[in-house]
Amino acid sequence: MGLLLDFRYALRNIAKSMRFTLLMMFIMVGSLTISLIGFNYIYTVAFSHSQVGSGSPEIRIFKVRNPISMQNRFEYSMLPQLRELDEVKQLEEWLYIAPASVWVSDAERGNHYRGSYVDERFFQFLDIKPALGRFYTAEDFVGAAQNVVVISDYLWLHLFQGSKDVIGRTMVVDQKPYEIIGVMPKHNNFPIFSKLWLPLKGNNTAPTDAIDIIYKMPNETVEAKLEQRLSLFFTDYAQQRVSQSALEVDKTVRVESMTLVEYNTDGEAVFIFTLFMAGIVLILLISSINIGNLLFAKIIERQKESAIRAAIGAKKLRVVQQHACEGLIYCVSSWVVALLLTDLGLRALNFFMNMMFGGKMPYWWYWQLNTVTILVSLLLISLVFAIAVLLPAVKTANFNINDVLRDGTRGATGKQAGLMSKRLLSLQVTLVSFMLMASSTIGYVMYSMAGNIDGETLKGVYSTELQFQTESEFSSDKAVKMASALVVGMTLDPAFKEGRVYQREMELDVLTSEGEVYTDKIINIEAVSHLFKRELQSGRNFTAQDNTEAAPVVIISQSLAHALFGSEEVLGRSLMLRDAKWPSAKIVGIAVDEMSVVASDRRHEVYFSFRQYAPKENAMAVKFITELPPSQSYEAFYRVLGRLSSKLETSYIFDHYDNHRSMMGAFTSIIYVFLIVGGFALTLSLIGIYAMGLSNINKSSYEIGIRRALGSKDRQIMLLFIKKNLTHTVTGLTISALIFYILCYLAVDFFRGIVPFSVMFGAGSITLLLVFAAVCLALYIPVKRSIKVQPAVSLRME
């Protein structure tokens, strides 16, 4: 009965103070909606990939970490031995996939698509049915069987305009005809963004082709054993293939089980997810403190009423219940509205992301209101209820009835309650200013990165990786010959403006003159052919002579020369190296600095001669520039490649301009997200600060009346009250600034100079000043309003 009465009374109060109610609802609904959309977005990106088939266990993939060799993938030739392992036999469901980049063409044009060669258990593993046609049968994997292909919904719509009679039609994949037998359901591009699936069998696969092993997680014990066994298996396999010197490295191969997202983020998905979730909780915490402070002020205003209730017999719990009822109504109604808005927001997000990224999104990037999000929403609203409703209700129920009844709301507020309100304000300012400083700095750095790249210079720039079919075929001499032939071929072809072959991902350290590893900045290291000509400040480029086993030579950039040797003469000196083929190399050229993409910083570069630092593995990178559209550029490249004597395989051709546009789009959207979320958090905070200022002023209106009656000037009163409130906000700002600057200082080493301290300090400080100005304004307005009231009115208000 008592609860019912309290709810009825709470409803009456809510209806009576509609402006306050709307303000509370705005803050609660806004923060909850942003939190839920943020959570759903990250959860979908990071974890929803495992939701293939209803109720199926989590899908996982093995990643190989191999410190002694570049070989870090399972290969097709390993399969027979792999299948015989007891630990693998215990797996209920697993399969292997060979990722591929395929060239789909017709008589007029062609395009690269990501595809997968899959085994015959693939579609059963996914537990899905085709949108059209059929999936594979055992007959499709017989060597002599006709080539068949299953295409994605994306290809069906883009290449065949969603025509129902696509089944049975022929599609040319890597110059071979394939019969289309099925269309995958919408939003499924398993394992990540496959656009077509081909049968994996002996006659379309080389023994050294990389394969991914994907399985459904049985339990953690089995998984641990499996990781251990596969690590041993892979170590044995790798040791048979590497040189003795490499074996001396005292490290072993490790096979780790990961989710698909962790696999693609090198195991960092959980870290990234946690980081984003921390941001979401931070926003919710800010708004909870805000709501708590507003409810706190409202409860304080009604403390005399609480004292009357207590005087006539209400126990403490009942007083708490009375206030909690009102908060509960706010929470429940905000929760419902927030869920509806989240649903709408996720639909809009889907539309927006599809418009921006189209078919380039992993298949599980489909955002919708799901059970997990609803459960999280319940958790979040409970958090809000605990922090914003229960905490103030319990805190304010500890009053002295006699004091309150004698002194009214003035005495009721008391020092302790006022202090709690101000401490909450300090905490709120700390959180919001820290969040804004961090997000504005990240946003500024990203903006600088994007701004420093001249997108137009990337137009027509492509890169790819070339692989020799067998390692034995690959030797240093052969690689140099091939690289030179390719560069010459591209130079002679009118379709190309420039062509360059080089080796990247070289794992070695540059040492300072003191013999320490240089870690101040990241150094871009490449091995290039002698045909590569870099703009030099002094010295020379590589010559054909350098493509021999002659003494090693190196070209370094001006900035690195200065960092290592100061103003001393550099040409002819030795660049000291660790974990490299040679312990040192003679510096023969100083390259004119290129700017880094971040904060207009000069880039550190080291170039080795291709021959002298020939790669351990059978691959080399190619970069070429054309003025043709992408598909014609690809064809021109394949034309040159086809003229070479050796058979080389290409990976996916990377379109730098297209990537730049995608990156700019992603940066822009992230900056927008920061602006929206940061702006919302700041607005929330300012509303809270304003409301607290107003509440404090209202409580002090009698005092203001007395002071003015005694002759105090408006300016003196304004300064007095701004100073009163400012102390706590300045405390909050100072704490957040200190934490932020300490973190920036620590982050400099972590980023290895990519983002200088001055950039982070500057962006953070400007944000801090803006927040300070906004806070001052939020405190000034209520004081300004209060001094417009005549002293007599203020005195009567008591």
Partner 1 sequence: MNSVIQLNNIEKRFQTDEIATQALDGINLVVEPGEFVAITGPSGCGKSTLLSILGLIDEPSNGEYFISGNQAFNLSSDERAHIRANHIGFIFQAFNLISDLNVLENVMLPLTYIGGISQKEMEQKAKDALAMVGLENRINHFPSQLSGGQQQRAAVARALINSPDLILADEPTGNLDSNNAQQVLGLLSELHAAGKTICMVTHDIESTTYASRVISMLDGTILRDKKQLERASKVVGA
> Nearest distance from residue 287's CB to partner 1, in Å?
27
Assess 574 for contact with partner 1 (CB under 8 A). no
Helix (H, G, I), strand (E, B) or coil at 254: strand
Q: Which position has the token pair 């020799």?
A: 468
Beta strands in 29-93 (DSSP E): 59-65, 74-75
Q: Are strands 176-183 and 148-151 parallel, antiparallel or unpaired?
A: parallel
Residue number, 128 or 401, with CB nearest to partner 1: 401
Residue number, 10 or 29, with CB nearest to partner 1: 10
Does a cis peptide bond (omega within 30 degrees of 0) precede residue 756? no
Residue number, 329 or 733, with CB nearest to partner 1: 329
Distance of alpha carbon 508 from alpha carbon 577, whole angstroms: 7
> Nearest distance from residue 3's CB to partner 1, in Å?
10
Helix (H, G, I), strand (E, B) or coil at 512: coil
Helix (H, G, I), strand (E, B) or coil at 150: strand
Residues 193-212 that bind partner 1 (CB under 8 A): none
> Nearest distance from residue 736's CB to partner 1, in Å?
33
Residue number, 315 or 639, with CB nearest to partner 1: 315
56 touches 127 (CB < 8 A)? yes
> 15-54 mask for partner 1 (x: CB under 8 A)?
-x--------------------------------------
> Nearest distance from residue 312's CB to partner 1, in Å?
5
CA-based max dimension of the chain: 105
466 touches 788 (CB < 8 A)? no
**Beta bridge pairs of residue 215:** 60, 94
Q: Are strands 604-609 and 523-528 parallel, antiparallel or unpaired?
A: parallel
Residue number, 1 or 355, with CB nearest to partner 1: 1
> 707-726 mask for partner 1 (x: CB under 8 A)?
--------------------
**Binding region for partner 1 (CB under 8 A) out of 12-20, 60-68, 441-449, 776-784:** 12-20
Residues 303-322 that bind partner 1 (CB under 8 A): 304-305, 308-318
Tokens of 239: 């040791």
Residues 249-308 that bind partner 1 (CB under 8 A): 304-305, 308
**Binding region for partner 1 (CB under 8 A) out of 10-18, 586-594, 711-719, 739-747:** 10-18
Distance of alpha carbon 420 from alpha carbon 154, whole angstroms: 57
Residue number, 382 or 416, with CB nearest to partner 1: 416
Residue number, 187 or 410, with CB nearest to partner 1: 410
Nearest CA to 692 out of 111, 2, 95, 23 is that of 23
Q: Which residues are CB-contacts of 570 (< 8 A; sequence separation ≥ 6)? A: 556, 561, 564, 587, 590
> Nearest distance from residue 129's CB to partner 1, in Å?
59
> 383-422 mask for partner 1 (x: CB under 8 A)?
-----------------xxx--xx----------------
**Binding region for partner 1 (CB under 8 A) out of 8-16, 146-154, 193-201, 653-661:** 8-16
Residue number, 42 or 324, with CB nearest to partner 1: 324
Nearest CA to 315 out of 324, 328, 325, 306 is that of 306
Q: Are strands 148-151 and 132-133 parallel, antiparallel or unpaired?
A: unpaired
Helix (H, G, I), strand (E, B) or coil at 46: helix
Q: How many CB atoms lie within 10 A of CB 788?
A: 8
Residue number, 305 or 471, with CB nearest to partner 1: 305
Distance of alpha carbon 298 from alpha carbon 779, whole angstroms: 19
> Nearest distance from residue 435's CB to partner 1, in Å?
38
Tokens of 517: 């590893």
Tokens of 568: 């001393």
Q: Which position has the token pair 């004119």?
A: 592
Q: Cα-atom radius of gyration of the chain, to the nearest Å? A: 33
Residue number, 129 or 315, with CB nearest to partner 1: 315
Residue number, 4 or 107, with CB nearest to partner 1: 4
Nearest CA to 726 out of 788, 783, 785, 789 is that of 783
Q: How many CB atoms lie within 10 A of CB 54?
A: 6
**Binding region for partner 1 (CB under 8 A) out of 6-14, 107-115, 230-238, 543-551:** 6-14
Assess 354 for contact with partner 1 (CB under 8 A). no
> Nearest distance from residue 326's CB to partner 1, in Å?
12
Residue number, 304 or 656, with CB nearest to partner 1: 304
Distance of alpha carbon 760 from alpha carbon 2, whole angstroms: 56
> Nearest distance from residue 414's CB to partner 1, in Å?
13
Assess 1 for contact with partner 1 (CB under 8 A). yes
Q: How many CB atoms lie within 10 A of CB 106?
A: 11
> Nearest distance from residue 7's CB to partner 1, in Å?
12
> In this structure, which amino acid lies at residue 736?
S
> 473-492 mask for partner 1 (x: CB under 8 A)?
--------------------
> Nearest distance from residue 793's CB to partner 1, in Å?
20
Q: Which residue ranges make up the site for partner 1 (CB under 8 A)? A: 1-2, 5, 9, 12-13, 16, 304-305, 308-318, 400-402, 405-406
